[in-house]
Amino acid sequence: MDNFSNWVVEFFRTFFLNLWYLISGFFTGLYQLFIGYPMDYYLGLSERSADFNFIDWTLTVVFIVIFIFLILMFWLLVIQLVKRYFRFSKIEFDKMNLLNQMNLLERSLRDSSVIHIENPKLNGMDTKSKQKAITGSRFTKLNMIDDKYKYSVLPTLMTNQEKLSLSEIVTHFINYANYHHNLYYSEKIASIFIAGLATSKILILEGISGTGKTSLPYVFGKFVKHDASIISVQPSWRDRFEMMGYYNEFTKKFNETEFLTSVYDATFRTDVNLIVLDEMNLARVEYYFADFLSLLELPNSDEWLIEVVPEQLIGDPVHLKEGKLKIPQNIWFIGTANNDDSTFGITDKVYDRASSIVMNEKAKKFKAQPLKQINLSYEYLDELFMEARKSHEISNKNLVALEKLDEFISQTFQITFGNRIMNQLYKFVPIYVACGRSEMEGIDYIIARKIIRKFETLNLPFLKNELESLLGLFDTLFGKDALKESKDMIIKFIKQI
């Protein structure tokens, strides 16, 4: 007990002694700064100046004047900085005070609106619902979508006549586009489009202007009785906030874009939803669409969560969970791209994850049948895709040939099929066959768009012999009449050398 008491007494004695040294040292420092040191300077000058001549005194006076001037300038600068700091703090305080007053006024207006405003459209709603309907939350447009669907998912009802096979969907679509919209699409393009939907949630329609790139998803949306959302990509887009919107701290509202509302609308639907990013390469796709490129590749669709706001607040849209929006499976993002000097090139990161459709030629005219629109649910379309994968698997012969082709291209050109491209082959080709096309034609299209396209980045003038060997290997592995599109691309490369 005595040892503890001694330690406590010693502790407080040391503590207060150190505190005294600190306080006394502070005041000692002030004394030295303004009195002690100047006195020392004066005494030093008195001792040294006994032998000064006229020139020494002149220089001394000049030095003292300059020194005093510098000291005054230093303290004036310190005073200005302090005054500026307090002025800035006052401005910020006034700004925060103004914002608080605005928030209080807004709350008062909301309360008075709910109590005093009578709106026939709001009859039968409770006070909370009235307040939300009149004033809205920070998500005005998304809350309107909640009200539009009455917080319930809209079912897609299909008749037996509408339950078509994939090949029948292709036939009905091209006839509908021709008869009702005077637009011509070949069976091949329509089949590639349908197979592309089964391969990836991202499609790229590229080619020269005027070949119907934007019209294709537009008319398909009409065909399935759900209009596609056409979003014009802006050259200023640098990140996803340009595309999806952002929260405005001053207005306390979220700037909701057409893209965001289209994605959110799809969460209440069970049919096919197409969002078209028109002229997607006016800005760099890998910048503003980066999050979607990564998310949509995850095998578990429950992880397709995109952050909209950092936190959840009362009154936020019903399908916004913890500030995140789940991208529904019934949605596809379709980008159109013109390859000219006014646009950015689309990188392999984007191409490898997307289904690419080249549209450089107009389809031939034909006499169309007067076929009508159909209701098409995502569930039914997905069932067709799964059945096609089981019924039209790639033949073992072609799989062996593809393995040998991959080995040759990988060793010769340092370009490989990879797991991603092989998975796309397994998804694309069976659906393409179910659409009424041939297996070899589907394989050819994937090889041309996913592999041969990458040859453009190689030093081709030094690879003429290798390209000619590849043409021979095509004939050996798949037959002379196979892989026409891939061969045409290689022959074009050889002619350019």
Q: Which residues contact 209 (CB under 8 A, 6 or more apart)?
A: 338
Q: Which two tokens stand for residue 416?
A: 């490989």
**Taking a C-beta distance cutoff of 8 angstroms, is the pair 193, 358 a contact?**
no
- Hey, CA dihedral for 122, 127, 129, 134, is it positive or negative? positive
| DSSP letter (8 states) at residue 247 | E
To the nearest 10°, the Cα dihedral for 375, 381, 383, 385?
Answer: 160
pLDDT in tens, the chain (497 residues): 666 677 666 766 777 777 777 777 777 777 776 677 777 777 777 777 777 787 877 887 788 888 788 888 888 888 888 888 777 777 766 665 665 565 556 545 544 544 433 333 334 444 444 444 444 579 999 999 999 999 999 999 999 999 999 999 999 999 999 999 999 999 999 999 999 999 999 999 998 877 788 999 999 999 999 999 999 999 999 999 999 999 988 888 999 999 999 999 999 999 999 999 999 999 999 999 999 999 998 999 999 999 999 988 888 999 999 999 999 999 999 999 987 767 888 888 899 999 999 988 777 888 889 999 999 999 999 999 999 999 999 999 999 999 999 999 999 999 988 889 999 999 999 999 999 999 999 999 999 999 999 998 888 888 999 999 999 999 999 998 899 999 999 999 998 87
pTM of this prediction? 0.73
Q: Phi, psi (5° rounding) for residue 137?
A: -100, -160
**Taking a C-beta distance cutoff of 8 angstroms, is the pair 330, 271 a contact?**
yes
**Taking a C-beta distance cutoff of 8 angstroms, is the pair 269, 224 a contact?**
no
The whole-angstrom separation of Cα 68 and Cα 48 is 20
User: What amino acid is encoded at 71 in this protein?
Assistant: I
**Percent helix, strand, coil in the chain (nearest 5)?**
60, 10, 30
- Collapse the DSSP code of 168 into the 3-class scheme (helix H, G, I; strand E, B; otherwise coil) and give the result: helix
CA distances from 194 to 31, 126, 269, 401 (A): 88, 47, 20, 26
CA distances from 69 to 62, 74, 256 (A): 11, 9, 59
